[in-house]
Structure 1
Amino acid sequence: MAGVLRLPSGRLIRGRGLRRPLPAGPPPTVALYLLGHEPPPVAWESRWLRWPDFWLPSDRAATAEALREAWARAEVERVEVACAGGYGRTGTALACLAVLDGVPNREAVAYVREHYAARAVETLWQRRFVSRFGWPVC
């Protein structure tokens, strides 16, 4: 399925850009929205993390907590991670989820680029965020 990342454990997480229409198929059970402004309301459970375009999340501890929750819930629920375009912030979050799933930090960006989108994780500081994700201070 387009936009769906299969993690090594088999968990599936859909990444997408909110500028594009919701893909066909069942809606997510829960979504994590990574935007510089509050997203519009949706019919499913969602969580918003303030994360300006091309930058890093405003609250790294809350981001780490939200990503851990999304990873855990993806075992049995449909999880969506989205930003405006679906590449930079979404790719960064997906790479962090890959780290939680056992992909080494130094390989997580390449994993997401191969299995989700070649343009995923757009900036040097987003790559650095992934390389340090999971340490005591994200």
Structure 2
Amino acid sequence: MPDTWNPAGAGVLRLPSGRLVRGRALRRPLPPGPAPAFAVHLLGKQPPPVAWESRWLRWPDFRLPHDPDRARETLVEAWSRAATERVEIACGGGRGRTGTALACLAVLDGVPPAKAVSYVRHHYDRHAVETPWQRRYVRCFSAR
């Protein structure tokens, strides 16, 4: 039995395949309930350590990942692990960078790139993916 999120939990996005991924703001306290098994932190500087496995992607606020190839590898890992584990994607505010990464996971899950931002805005946060270049990043992201 997979050890994933409660679908009704705060910030939990259900991808079309049924995978559950939690998005959240690191500036807010950890939500009640189980901790993630794996997290991807999208920040301009290295985050403090956490008690679970995590990856840090250098991704400044309102911008794009510093290393797109590493970002893609990490997002593929997060998407893969979400099939059986509690995966969390988080940035400072939980909207721009987190929404962009969640939209990329939606592309990996089969959502057409041109529709992934709308999917995440409808199912996660209506303000997700904040800048035109973040939207462009998702449109150019491929499931290759």
Q: Above 0.5 in TM-score?
A: yes
Alpha-carbon separation, structure 2, partners of 1:33 and 1:74: 15
TM-score (norm 2): 0.93
Number of the residue aligned with 1:104: 112
Matched, 1:51 2:59: yes
Q: 1:135 to 1:7 in 2, by over 3 A?
A: closer
Task: Answer whether contact 2:43 2:60 (CA < 8 A) is retained.
Answer: yes
Aligned to 2:87: 79
The residue identity in structure 1 corresponding to 2:69 is A
* 2:142 corresponds to 1:134: yes
Report the Cα offset of residue 134 of structure 1.
1.3
Q: Deviations over 1:15-74 (max 9, x none)?
A: 000000000110000000000000011000000000000000000000000000000000
C-alpha separation between the residues in 1 aligned to 2:124 and 2:138?
A: 16
Match of 1:5 in 2: 13
Q: Equivalents in 2 of 1:14, 1:96: separation in Å?
A: 14
Indicate yes or no: 2:53 matched with 1:39. no
2:34 aligns to what? 26
Q: 1:14: Cα distance to partner?
A: 0.3
What secondary structure, in the 3-state scheme, does the structure 2 residue paired with 1:5 have? strand
5+ residue gaps, structure 1: none
Structure 1 runs (4+) greater than 6 angstroms displaced? none
How many residue pairs match? The answer is 136
Deviation, structure 1 residue 135: 7.0
Counterpart code for 2:111: V
Q: Distance in 1 between matches of 2:90 and 2:123?
A: 16
State, as a whole percentage, how many aligned pairs show the same letter.
70
Match of 1:65 in 2: 73
Which runs of no fewer than 5 residues in structure 2 stay unpaired?
A: 1-8
Q: TM-score, normalised by structure 1?
A: 0.97
Letter in 1 for 2:93: G
1:55-94 Cα offsets, whole Å, 9 max, x none, are 0000000000000000000000000000000000000000
